[in-house]
Amino acid sequence: MMTPVKAPGRTRAAIDTPENMLAHALAMESEAAERYAELADQMAVHNNQEVAALFRKLGDIERLHAENIRRQAAGYELPRISLGGYRWGSRESPEALDPGEVHYLITPREAVKLALRHERQAAEFYGRIARGSASQEVRKLAKGYEEEEKEHVRLLTEWLKRYPETGCDRDDDPDPPMEQE
Ligand code: ZN
């Protein structure tokens, strides 16, 4: 019998045991925590103290999230997943910032926007599982994580208000004329 044409994206929701869900969540949150902490160190080295403090705070938040998951996972035998075996639906885990995206002169506004993007991706990742997993226990876990990530998104949206558009964001026109407000 011939197998039908590949259904793209079908494997994304194929996290169907609590052990597998916990292992993914733990990996994702630990990686996000470590990445934010590394970036905070790098920014501090470059004397970009304001962004260093932002990343430091985000790293602390993610570390707490990872610790909560570790507590949840007590009593479960978590599977060992090889680096390529995670079902992120992308090459990298959705929440961790790519250090290549972070210039040492990054402004606090750019840093918050970048973090926002990754926190949204994390919420979407969990949301897909919360809606798509065959296991009710997994859906419940994923729903909880999704809520947590949405909370991070809300927090960052608040932070963004502290750093209004200056007209010199790197993702804006690189050669801005004298602007008339
Ligand atoms: Zn988060």
Separation of CA 29 and ligand 1 centre (Å): 7
The domains of the chain, with CATH numbers, are: 16-165 (1.20.1260.10)
What torsion do the CA atoms of 35, 38, 39, 40 make, to the nearest 10 degrees? 120
* Model confidence at 173: pLDDT above 80: no
Determine the average pLDDT of the residues in 175-181.
Answer: 43
| Both structure tokens of 91 | 């090459």
Q: How far is the CA of 80 from the centre of ligand 1 (A)?
A: 23
Residue 85 C-alpha to ligand 1 middle, in angstroms? 21
pLDDT digits 0-9 by tens, 115-165: 999 999 999 999 999 999 999 999 999 999 999 999 999 999 999 999 988
Who wins on pLDDT, 10 or 131? 131
pLDDT of residue 128: 93
Q: Residue 84 has what pLDDT?
A: 77
What is the pTM for the complete model shown?
A: 0.80
The beta-carbon contacts of 129-134 under 8 Å, at least 24 apart in sequence, are: 129/13, 129/15, 129/21, 131/13, 132/12, 132/13, 133/13, 133/15, 133/16, 133/21, 134/16
Distance 168 CA to ligand 1 centre (A): 27
- For ligand 1, the distance from its centroid to the CA atom of residue 95, given in whole angstroms, is 7
Interval between CA 175 and ligand 1 midpoint (Å): 34
pLDDT in tens, 26-49: 999 999 999 999 999 999 999 999
Note the pLDDT of residue 13: 41
Question: What's residue 169's pLDDT?
Answer: 54
Cα(123) to ligand 1 centroid in Å equals: 8
What is the pLDDT at residue 171? Answer: 53
pLDDT at 7: 43
Top-confidence residue, 5 or 139: 139
The predicted pLDDT at position 4 comes to 45
Average pLDDT over residues 58-73: 96
| Distance set, CA 7 to CA 10, 11, 16, 79 (Å) | 6, 9, 18, 26
In angstroms, what is the span from residue 11 Cα to ligand 1's centroid?
Answer: 23
